[in-house]
Amino acid sequence: MKIKNIFKFLIIAFLTAQLGACVSNEAEQKFDQTPAERLNAREKELNDLLLSAEYGWKAVYFTDNTQLGGFTHLFKFSADGKVAMASDFDSDTSTYNSDYSIEIGSTISLVFTTKNRIHLLSDSNNFPVPGLKGRGYEGDFQFLYYGEENGEIIFKTKRSFEELRFVKATVEDWTDLELNTEMAQNVIGSEKRSLFRLLEINDGTNIHKLDFNYAPRPRFAIANSVEQGYNMSYNMGIAFTKTGIIVSPAVVVNDQELTEFIYDDSTGSFTATGTNGVSAAIKYTDKPLILTDDYTLLLPGIGNGNNAYAYIHDYTELEGANSALFLSLLNDIEEANGEPLQRAQFWFNNADGTNYVEYRFGNVSYYHYFTLKADDVNKTITFIPDAWKSGRNPKSPTITAPSFLKTLDDEFMNPQGLYFAEIPVVGYRAYTFTSTTTPFRMVAYSFQ
C-alpha cells in the first residue's frame, strides 16, 4: 500500500474511533435510566407542570376543524387528583370539580377520569348535526403528553392524534368566560340583522366577496366565491373569545394566515387584519350573493311533477342554517299548542293541481292550500294563501286557521316572497325557504 493511502486510512480510522466514542457516551447518558424510570420521570414532569400554573390552564380545543369548531376549556389541577373545570360549550360557564389522573402506558397521558365539561365533546349521543349521529363532537378526554415548549404543555389527542396545547390561564380567563357565550350570539346574528353574510377578502390589491354561511351547533362556517375567474373557498371551525372569534384552519390571504377576527358591534362584522393592506371580514349583506334558479323546481311544468319538502322535528331542526327566528316560532307553537310541531311539509304540483303545506302534530294535521307566483328577475317564489282544510283532499271541509300557527304561516305566505335554494348537508338532500324581508329561514328535507 502506498504511504499516502496508509496515511489517509489512519486518519479515517482515528476519526471513526473518536465519533464512536462520542456516540457511545451520548447513548450511555441517554439510557442511564431504565424505561420505567424514564416514564416515572416524565410522569413527575407533567404533574409538576399541571400544578405549576397559579390560575390553571386554558385550551381551545378544535376536535375536527374540517367540520367542527373550537371549545374553550379552563382547568385548575390539584395535587389530590382533583380538577376544577369550566367551558364555553354552552351558556353554562360555571366551574365543576371532577377527577383526573396521569397514566403510564407506552407514553404518559393526562386522563379526565370522571365526568366533567370536557366529556360533552366525547359523548357519542351528544351530536350537533345528523351527519355526526353516533360520533358526537368527536372529542377526547385522554391526552398524550409530548412535552413543554415556551411555557405551553403540548398534548396529542388519543383519538385523532391532533395537537392540543395548554397555555397558562389568567384570572380574567375564568371571570370573563361567559363573554365567550355572548359572542356566540353575535356570530349567529341578531334577529334584527339580515340572514345574509359575506366574507370579504382584501389581498392588498383586490377585494373579493364570498358567500358565507355559519352553522351554530357545530360552530362551523363555509365561504364560497361567487365571482367568475376567482375560484376560492374557505371552510373554518370557529371558537369564541370575549372580543371576537378564532378560526381554524386559518384564512390564508396572500400567504398571510389570519386567525383572529375582532367584532364590531356597530356593524355586526368580524375583521382580521394582516399587513400591507391584507384583511378578511365577515359582513352582513341585504340579499344572497348567489341567486339560484332552484325556485323553478316548485313550479308546474315539464319535469316538475309532485314533489315535497319538509321541516322534520329532531332531524332538520338540528341543521345550523335554521334561523333563530324560525326556532323561536317553533318554541312559541309548542308552548301555545302543548306539543311540538312534528312536520311542516310542503306538497307541490299534486295530481289535482293543488299545493299546500301540512302542519303535523302527532296524528292531527292542518292543511293550508296556496297558489304560486314566481319572480324570474329576483328569483323568488311567493305562496298566495288560499283555504285551510282538515284533510289533504281539496274537497275536505274548510276550517278556521289555527291561531297558534299564524305567525309561522305568515312567514311562509310572505307577499314579498321567499328564496328557495339547495344547501349542502350531510346524509340527505336539503333546501332552505328564506324570507326576503325578515330573518326567517327553514331547512327542509327533500323527498325527491
- What integer is the mean pLDDT of 396-419? 97
Please give the residue that has the higher pLDDT: either 33 or 168: 168
pLDDT at 320: 79
pLDDT at 6: 45
- What integer is the mean pLDDT of 389-401? 93
pLDDT at 25: 46
- What integer is the mean pLDDT of 178-189? 93
Q: Is the pLDDT of residue 345 over 80?
A: yes
Please give the residue that has the higher pLDDT: either 439 or 413: 413
Q: Is the pLDDT of residue 34 over 70?
A: yes
**pLDDT of 190-229, one tens digit each?**
777 888 999 999 999 999 999 998 988 999 999 999 888 8
Residues above pLDDT 90, as percent of the chain: 75
Q: Is the pLDDT of residue 329 over 70?
A: yes
Residues above pLDDT 70, as percent of the chain: 92
Q: Which fold has domain 38-175?
A: Lipocalin (2.40.128)
Please give the residue that has the higher pLDDT: either 343 or 35: 343
pLDDT at 44: 96
Please give the residue that has the higher pLDDT: either 188 or 191: 188
Mean pLDDT is lowest, of 17-26, 125-134, 375-384, for: 17-26
pLDDT at 290: 84
Work out the mean pLDDT of the chain and round it to a whole number. Answer: 91
Please give the residue that has the higher pLDDT: either 27 or 278: 278
pLDDT at 302: 61
- What integer is the mean pLDDT of 115-133? 93
Q: Is the pLDDT of residue 253 over 70?
A: yes
Ranges of each domain in the chain: 3-32, 38-175, 182-284, 294-446
Q: Is the pLDDT of residue 442 over 50?
A: yes
Mean pLDDT is lowest, of 159-168, 188-197, 287-296, 346-355, for: 188-197
pLDDT at 303: 62
pLDDT at 348: 95
pLDDT at 394: 87
Can you give the three-state secondary structure of the chain, one letter per residue?
Answer: CCHHHHHHHHHHHHHHHHHHHHHHHHHHHHCCCCHHHHHHHHHHHHHHHHHHCCCCEEEEEECCCCCCCEEEEEEEECCCCEEEEEECCCCCCCCEEEEEEEEECCCEEEEECCCCHHHHHCCCCCCCCHHHCCCCCCCCCEEEEEEEECCEEEEEECCCCCEEEEEECCHHHHHCHHHHHHHHHHHHCCCCCCCCEEEEEEECCCEEEEEEEEECCCCEEEEEECCCCCCCEEEEEEEECCCEEEEEEEEEECCEEEEEEEEECCCCEEEEECCCCEEEEEEECCCCCCCCCHHHHHCCECCECCEEEEEECCCHHHCCCCCHHHHHHHHHHHHHHCCCCCEEEEEECCCCCCEEEEEEECCEEEEEEEEEEEECCCCEEEEEEEEEECCCCCCCCECCCCHHHHHHHHHHCCCCCEEEEEECCCCCCEEEEEECCCCCEEEEEECC
Please give the residue that has the higher pLDDT: either 17 or 305: 305
Q: Is the pLDDT of residue 21 over 60?
A: no
**pLDDT of 411-430, one tens digit each?**
999 999 999 999 887 788 99
pLDDT at 17: 46
Question: Which of the four pLDDT bands, split at 50, 70 and 90, describes residue 2?
Answer: very low
